[in-house]
Structure 1
Amino acid sequence: MDKQNQHGETQLSLHVDDYKAYLKNLFANAYDFQIRTIHTKQMTEVNLYYFNGLVDITLLDELVAKSIVSIEQSSTIDPNDTIVSLTNHTLPLNLDDIKEGLLNGQVMVHINAHSPYLLTINSDPARQVAEPTTEYQVFGPKLGFVESVDKNIGILRYYLKDCELHTVEAFAGKENTMKVAVAYIHSLIDETSLSFINEKIERLKNKEISSLGQLARHFQHDFYSLFPQSVLTERPDHAKESLLDGKFVIFLSYHTFCIVTPVQLLDTIGSIEDSSFTVSWNKLSIRVLRLLCMIIGTTLPALYVALVAFHPELIPTTFTLTIAQSRAQIPITASFEALLMLFALDVLVEASIRLPSFVGQTIGIVGGLVIGTAAAEAGIVSNIMVVTIAFTAICTFVIPSWEFVFTWRIMRYIYVLVASLLGLYGLSLVFGLTFLHLCKLKAHDKPYLEPISPFNFKKLRTFFHSRP
C-alpha cells in the first residue's frame, strides 16, 4: 500500500479498497473496530474507520455525518473542505501513523481518490477529577490526580501558575505505548540533578515500563538500598509543594499517582498538612512525634528481645518480675516469640489491605484482638509481647509514607535477628551501620540525611517549625 516516489519519500495509496482490505485484516480479531461506509450522491465512497470505545459517537455523527450531507449537495468532494474544518485533524505519512492514530482514539476518514486523514474525536475514558482515595487529608484540598497524563499536568498548572514550571514529554518502550511526563521548576533545580534526570529520560526509549514502581526504580540513584529515594502521591498539593522544594514530579500513562523524586529521610516523615496548623508549634510536636515513633516502631521488638534474653539486669526489678511471671509458661524463646508476632502482624496488615474496604477493617481489628488474646491465653506468647507488638504497629502507622513503612517493617526483622544473637551490642552495631548507610546514601546528588548530615540548622529549623 505504501509507495515511494522518485525522491524516496513514502506516499499512501489513494484507492479506498486498499485501506478497507488492509485494516479489516489488521483488526480482524477486534470486534470493537468499525468500518462505516457512506456513499454520496455522486457515488463517491467515504469510509470511516474507528474503535467504538475510543470515539465519541455522538460527536462523530454531529460533525462528520452532517458535513458529508452538506458535501453531497456540492459538485466536488474535497478532503480539506467542510469535514476537516470542523475538527482537529492530521495527515498520516505512512501506515504506522494510521495504526497509531486509530489506537489512540482517532477516526480515519478516507474519500476515494484522496489521501486519508485522521480526525480527533476522542471519547476520554479517564474518570473525572475526584477526591483522593488512598491519601486522606483533613485540611488539604479534596482533589486528586486521574489516569490522564495531560490532564494531570493541567491540574498541576492549576495549582502552580509559574512560567518556570517546565515539562518534558517522553515515551517508554520500543512501541512508545507508555507516555511519561516530567515536571520541575527550572530555577530551583541544580544542573547535576537535571543532567541525571535527562540521562534517565533518554534511556526510557529502550526500557519497557508498565508500572509506577518500575519507573520510580529507573530514576533511583542507589538501586539496592532499602530506603526509598522517591515516593508516590495522588495529591496535587503534595506534588506542588515538592516542586517548590526543588524536586521532580513524574507522571505515567493510566496511573492516578505521580512520582516525587528525589526524597530524603525527613521528607518521608513530613506531611503537607503539617503546615496547615494555625499554631506553629503544632508542626514541631507532630513531626517530633513521628520521628520518635519511627525509632520506637523499628527498635522496640529488638530491644525487648535483647533485654529479656541477654541483659535482664538492666530492667527495673519490679518490671523484671512481671516479665518473668508473664513468660513462666511460654515454651519458646523471646526472639522466636517476637519474630512470630511480627509475622502475624504483617499477615494481618496485608490481609486487611487486599480485602474489600468494608471487610478489611473488621478483619484487621477482630483478627488482631482474637489472635493476640488467644495466643496469650494459650501460653504461646506472653501478654507483654502482645502489647509490645501492638504498640510497635501503632507507632509504624504514624509515618505518612507507606513506602517508608515497608522499609521499616523489613528493618524490624533484621534488628530482631541481630539482637537475638548479640543482644544490645548487636542492636547498637546494626543501628550504627544503618546510620552509616544513610549518611552514605544519596538521592540524585543530595545527601539522604540532609539537613541532619551535613548539618544545616536553618533547613532543620524550617522543617520542624513554621515561621510567619
Structure 2
Amino acid sequence: MKFTSKRNSHNNNKQQALNEDFFINIFKELDKNIQNIKNIFDSPSDLTIRKFTLGKTNINCALIYVDGLTDKNLIHNHILKSLQIEVIESGKDFSQHPDQLLEELYQKAITISEVKQADTLDDMSLAILSGDTVLLVDGINQGLILGSKGWVNRAVQEPITEGVIRGPREGFIENLRTNTVLIRRRIRDANLRFKSYKIGRRSKKDLVVAYIEGIANPALVKEVERRIDTIDLDDAPESGYIEQWIEDSFLSPFPQMSHTERPDKVATELVQGKVAIVLDGTPFVLIAPVTFGNTLQSPEDYYERWMVGSLIRVLRYFGAFISVFLPSLYIALVSYHPGMIPSKLAFSIASTREGVPVPAFIEAFLMEFTMEMLREAGVRLPKPIGQTIGIVGGLVIGEAAVSAGVVSPIMVIIVAITAVASFALPSYSFAISLRMLRFGFMLAAAVFGFYGIILGYIMINIHIVNLKSFGVPYSTPFAPNFLKDWKDLVIRSPIATLSQRPQYMQTDDKVRMDKDGESS
C-alpha cells in the first residue's frame, strides 16, 4: 500500500502548477516575468536579479543569472556597462517605440558574440541554469540570452586512467566545449561535424555526436543518432549511462563501446570512420563501434616503430589469454589431468601441495577473490594508501597463507602472473570482462577439467561471433574475415603500408594515403 502525505500532495500540486507556468510565453510586464522566474526556481539564494533603468530613459530592465555559473566581469563590462553607455551616447528616445529597443541593443549595444532571442520562460530558465544571462526589458514580450558562462573548470592535464608513454599528454576534462576544442585542434577538417543534443529531463545536459562527414558511414551516424534520440533519463551524470542505454546487448560481458580520456585516440578513431560521443560533465568520451581487436590496441602502437608496436600487441594477446585461462588450466591439470604435467614438475607441485587442506579449485578461488578485493580496495582508497595496500596486502596475505599451509606456493605464483597479465590490457572495461570470465572458466575446469575449458571457450566464441557493436560484428576482422585489415590487427604493419581505412567500417572515403605514402 502506498501512503501520500498532505505535504507531499501539496508539493506535487505546486510542482505541477510551476510546470504549467514553465512553458508560458514572456509577458510585457517586467515585474510579472521576474515573479514567474522566481516561482520556477523557488527564489534560491544564488539567483541574481539586477534591475536598472536604461540610460537616461524611464525604461526598466533586468539582468537575471545564477551566481557562480557566470563570468561577473563579462556581465559588468560587456553587458551592463555597454548597455548604459550606448543608450546614453545615442540620445534616442525609445519611450515612444519600445519595440525597437531590443533590436537596437542587439545590434549596437551588446558587445559579446553569443546572443540569442528568448520567447518563452522555458528558453530563459534553461539558459539561466546553463550559465547564461537573460536580459528582460519592460514593455517587450521577448528577452535576450547572453552567453556569459564562467564557472570554474579543471585544467587540461595528463589522463589519469590511461598512462601515456609516448604521445600527447593532454586529457579531456569535464567541460564539453574544452573537449570539442581538443578534438578540433587535432582534426582541422571543415567536414568535422558536431551535432548537439540535450540529455536528461531534469539535468538537460549537453551531448555532442562527433564524426567526419565524407568518411563515416552515413548509416552508422544515423543509427547512433537514432539510439540517442531514444534516451529518456532524468539525468546522465556520466557517459557510462549513455553507453549502457544505447549498447547492442546488455547481457554481454564485453564492452560494445570504448571510452577514453585521450583526445589523440578520439581523433585517430574519427579519421578511421568511427563516431565519438562527448557528454558534458565527464572526461570520458565514447567511441563506436568497437571490435575485439580494438580492445587490445593503444595509440602508442602507432607512435613507436612497427616492430616495437607489433611486439607489444602480441604481448597483450598473450596477456589476455593468461588472464582468462591460467588459473583454470592449473585447476584442470592438478585435479583431472596430472599425467599431462612433466614428471619433475608434477612431483614439485605435489610436494608444495602436501598439507593443503582444500581442493585446487577452492584454493584458486580464495586467492583470486582475495586479489580482486585487494585491487578494488587499492582503487577506492587514497592513492598513497591504496598503492601501499595493494603491495603490502598481497605480500603479507600470500606469505601468511603459504606459511599456514592454506595455499601452495605455486598457487601464489599463478595468481601473481594472472594479475600482472590483466594489468597489461589497455582497456579497463575489457580487462574487467576477462576477470569475470576467469571465474567461470575456473568453475568449468573444476567440474569437467579440460573438457569444461574447451566447452566454455566454444561458448564464448559463439557469443563473440554473434555480438555486434552498432551493426559491426564484434569478431571483425577475424570473422567475417577481412584480410586487408589483418595488417593492423595482431601485427601492426609499417605506417606506409596502411593506406586503406578499415574495410569493416565501410567508410565513404576508403583511402587515407595515396600510393606514394602521402595523405589523401
SS class of match (1:204): coil
TM-score of the superposed pair, with normalisation by structure 1: 0.92
In structure 2, relative to structure 1, the CA distance for the partners of 1:243 and 1:64 (3 Å cut) is closer
In structure 2, relative to structure 1, the CA distance for the partners of 1:156 and 1:299 (3 Å cut) is same
**Residue pair 2:82, 2:110 contacting (<8 A) in 1 also:** no
2:473 maps to a residue whose letter is P
Residue in 1 that maps onto 2:48 = 34
The answer as to 2:272 corresponding to 1:245 is yes
In structure 2, relative to structure 1, the CA distance for the partners of 1:103 and 1:388 (3 Å cut) is same
Give the whole-Å Cα distance in 2 for the aligned partners of 1:451 and 1:177.
Answer: 39
- Aligned match for 2:111, one of 77, 83, 86: 86
**Residue pair 1:91, 1:117 contacting (<8 A) in 2 also:** yes
The answer as to 2:349 corresponding to 1:333 is no
**Equivalent residues in 2 for 1:381-400, closer than 5 Å:** 381-400=407-426
Of stretches 65-74 and 101-110 in structure 1, the one that deviates more from structure 2 is: 65-74
In structure 2, relative to structure 1, the CA distance for the partners of 1:76 and 1:359 (3 Å cut) is farther
**Residue pair 2:70, 2:150 contacting (<8 A) in 1 also:** yes
The answer as to 2:277 corresponding to 1:260 is no
- Aligned match for 2:187, one of 144, 149, 160: 160
- Residues 22-49 of structure 1, C-alpha deviations (whole Å, 9 max, x = no match): 2333333521111222245545433221
Residue in 2 that maps onto 1:54 = 69
- Taking only aligned residues, the RMSD between alpha carbons, in angstroms, comes to 2.3
**Residue pair 2:363, 2:407 contacting (<8 A) in 1 also:** yes
Residue in 1 that maps onto 2:123 = 97
**Displacement, 1:392?**
0.4
In structure 2, relative to structure 1, the CA distance for the partners of 1:461 and 1:90 (3 Å cut) is closer
Give the whole-Å Cα distance in 2 for the aligned partners of 1:451 and 1:347.
Answer: 36
Task: Tell me the percent identity.
Answer: 32
**Residue pair 2:221, 2:275 contacting (<8 A) in 1 also:** no
Residue in 2 that maps onto 1:17 = 31
**Residue pair 2:358, 2:406 contacting (<8 A) in 1 also:** yes
In structure 2, relative to structure 1, the CA distance for the partners of 1:335 and 1:187 (3 Å cut) is same
Give the whole-Å Cα distance in 1 for the aligned partners of 2:190 and 2:84.
Answer: 46
The answer as to 2:212 corresponding to 1:203 is no
Give the whole-Å Cα distance in 2 for the aligned partners of 1:176 and 1:31.
Answer: 20
In structure 2, relative to structure 1, the CA distance for the partners of 1:302 and 1:122 (3 Å cut) is same
The answer as to 2:159 corresponding to 1:132 is yes
- Aligned match for 1:359, one of 385, 399, 423: 385
The answer as to 2:316 corresponding to 1:290 is yes
**Residue pair 1:182, 1:249 contacting (<8 A) in 2 also:** yes
1:183 maps to a residue whose letter is A
Unaligned ranges ≥5, structure 2: 1-22, 95-100, 497-520
**Displacement, 1:332?**
1.0
The answer as to 2:178 corresponding to 1:151 is yes
Of stretches 78-87 and 110-119 in structure 1, the one that deviates more from structure 2 is: 78-87
Give the whole-Å Cα distance in 2 for the aligned partners of 1:91 and 1:188.
Answer: 35
1:238 maps to a residue whose letter is K
Give the whole-Å Cα distance in 1 for the aligned partners of 2:194 and 2:36.
Answer: 38
Give the whole-Å Cα distance in 2 for the aligned partners of 1:21 and 1:113.
Answer: 15
**Displacement, 1:194?**
3.3
Give the whole-Å Cα distance in 1 for the aligned partners of 2:275 and 2:314.
Answer: 27
Residue in 2 that maps onto 1:63 = 78
2:439 maps to a residue whose letter is Y
Of stretches 27-36 and 407-416 in structure 1, the one that deviates more from structure 2 is: 27-36
Residue in 1 that maps onto 2:136 = 110
**Displacement, 1:295?**
0.5
In structure 2, relative to structure 1, the CA distance for the partners of 1:29 and 1:82 (3 Å cut) is closer
**Equivalent residues in 2 for 1:231-242, closer than 5 Å:** 231-242=258-269
SS class of match (2:372): helix
**Residue pair 1:275, 1:466 contacting (<8 A) in 2 also:** no
Give the whole-Å Cα distance in 1 for the aligned partners of 2:367 and 2:62.
Answer: 67
Residue in 1 that maps onto 2:169 = 142
Of stretches 154-163 and 224-233 in structure 1, the one that deviates more from structure 2 is: 154-163
**Residue pair 2:203, 2:236 contacting (<8 A) in 1 also:** no
- Aligned match for 2:93, one of 50, 58, 76: 76
**Displacement, 1:273?**
0.5
Residue in 1 that maps onto 2:256 = 229
Give the whole-Å Cα distance in 2 for the aligned partners of 1:435 and 1:35.
Answer: 62
- Residues 424-443 of structure 1, C-alpha deviations (whole Å, 9 max, x = no match): 11111111221222222222
In structure 2, relative to structure 1, the CA distance for the partners of 1:193 and 1:127 (3 Å cut) is same
TM-score of the superposed pair, with normalisation by structure 2: 0.83
Of stretches 455-464 and 400-409 in structure 1, the one that deviates more from structure 2 is: 455-464
Unaligned ranges ≥5, structure 1: 1-8
SS class of match (1:137): coil
In structure 2, relative to structure 1, the CA distance for the partners of 1:378 and 1:158 (3 Å cut) is same
In structure 2, relative to structure 1, the CA distance for the partners of 1:398 and 1:90 (3 Å cut) is same
Give the whole-Å Cα distance in 2 for the aligned partners of 1:20 and 1:11.
Answer: 13
The answer as to 2:232 corresponding to 1:218 is no
In structure 2, relative to structure 1, the CA distance for the partners of 1:308 and 1:142 (3 Å cut) is same
**Aligned residues between the structures:** 460
SS class of match (2:194): strand
Give the whole-Å Cα distance in 2 for the aligned partners of 1:344 and 1:444.
Answer: 37
**Displacement, 1:163?**
3.2
In structure 2, relative to structure 1, the CA distance for the partners of 1:405 and 1:28 (3 Å cut) is same
Of stretches 115-124 and 130-139 in structure 1, the one that deviates more from structure 2 is: 115-124
1:86 maps to a residue whose letter is T
- Aligned match for 2:205, one of 166, 178, 187: 178
- Residues 323-372 of structure 1, C-alpha deviations (whole Å, 9 max, x = no match): 11111111111100111011001101111111111221111111111111
- Residues 94-116 of structure 1, C-alpha deviations (whole Å, 9 max, x = no match): 11112112111122222332343
